[in-house]
Chains A and B, each alone.
Chain A
Amino acid sequence: MSAADTTEKPRDAAHGTIEVSIWRGRDEGRYETFRVPMRESQTVLDIVTHVQRHLDPTLAYRFACRVGVCGSCAMTVNGRPRWTCRTHVSKVVENGRIEIGPLANLPVIKDLAADMSPFFEKWQEAKGAFTPSKTREADIEPISPETRERKIIDAAIECINCGVCFAACDTVRWNEDYMGPAALNRAWTLVNDVRDAGNAARVHAVAQGGGCHACHTHQSCEQHCPVGLNPTASIAGLKRRTMQAFIRGELE
């Protein structure tokens, strides 16, 4: 054994390379191939960052927190939408190759950066903003974590707005009016918020053509949400709530 072998390698030492195809262009473009050194515990976002810093500084992509909180780094990895900062390369590499594209069902700004505007516009359409029922002078309303409503909210509230579900939903792909899983999941949390004063308008909004009843229960959103949320269940809740409102004659 030579002396060199006994010295400990730095933890992030490269071991081999990986072939990375990265989307270049806008809605139309092509994949460009790069060779990137493979490292331990490397994430897909690390690969993109390596390409941008060392191989091609014109590559456009988006990230912020790098720890799965901000929801800005979602891309298509080997054809599947994922949060790239928390996707380990070792988990998704196929035959030493990896293909990275922009998030689907959204316009492409450039390369790996998708335009999230339609995603957030749907959020507005589903009345995803809290409507206060009190003024700032009122006391803070205590909400027990044990109430049924609060438990329903807890199950759905941790959405990081990454758009992964939006990119994995065929109803979004096929029906441009469809609000999509995240916006409806958000509406469901507010429908259960006892402090919210906007639910008549919200229930009306999500009962419209592009609302909850357009969902085909494919469950792709539930299967892909990186945070483990279940928009399918939230949308089912909205389907029941809007149906009740219809029977009571509140939807006119």
Chain B
Amino acid sequence: MAKPRNTTYRREPLWRAAMVHRISGLLLACFLPLHFLALALALDGEQRLDGFLRWTDQPLFKVAETVLVGLLAVHLLGGIRVLAIENLPWRPGQKQMAMGAIAVATLVAAAFLVRIV
């Protein structure tokens, strides 16, 4: 049977910023083992690593790398904001800071994409 609707607080920008932080963290955590696996190819000799790196020169990988850079930037900046909340005196303007973090991360990712293509 039906339940009352009661989660529209999730439309708040700061709630969404918290979710961006969490999801970016989870995706980065998923990436990390793949990153180490790739590096571990060097143990089998530089050819294997070089071969793999050449394989990742495809456009799809460029896009994925750009997303990765964006995730790293947004997670880093969002993390700094939360650390500041928890360890420094309260600062107003949290919404602006959270949105700023997302905007800066997007710019960083865009700049990265421009540099690698």
Contacts and interface: CB of A to CB of B under 8 A. Distances in A.
Contacts of A31: 2, 4
Interface residues of B, number: 21
Interface in B1-44: 1-10, 12, 14-15, 18, 22
Contact of A240 (B4, B12, B18, B86): B86
Contact of B9 (A29, A217, A224, A239): A224
B4 A104 contact: yes
Interface in A232-248: 232-233, 236, 239-240
B8 A217 contact: no
Contact of A80 (B8, B14, B22, B86): B8
A115 interface: no
Contacts, number: 74
Contacts of A168: 9
A218 to B, nearest CB: 5
Interface string A215-241: 011111011100000101100100110
B4 A23 contact: yes
Given A79-B7, A81-B6, A219 B1 contact: no
Interface residues of A, number: 33
A101 interface: yes
Contacts of B87: 236, 240
Contacts of A87: none
Interface of B: 1-10, 12, 14-15, 18, 22, 82, 85-87, 90, 94
30 contacts: A23-B4, A28-B1, A30-B2, A31-B2, A31-B4, A76-B4, A76-B5, A79-B9, A81-B9, A99-B5, A101-B4, A101-B6, A104-B6, A104-B7, A108-B4, A168-B9, A170-B10, A217-B82, A218-B14, A218-B15, A219-B94, A220-B9, A220-B12, A222-B14, A223-B12, A236-B85, A236-B86, A236-B87, A239-B86, A240-B87
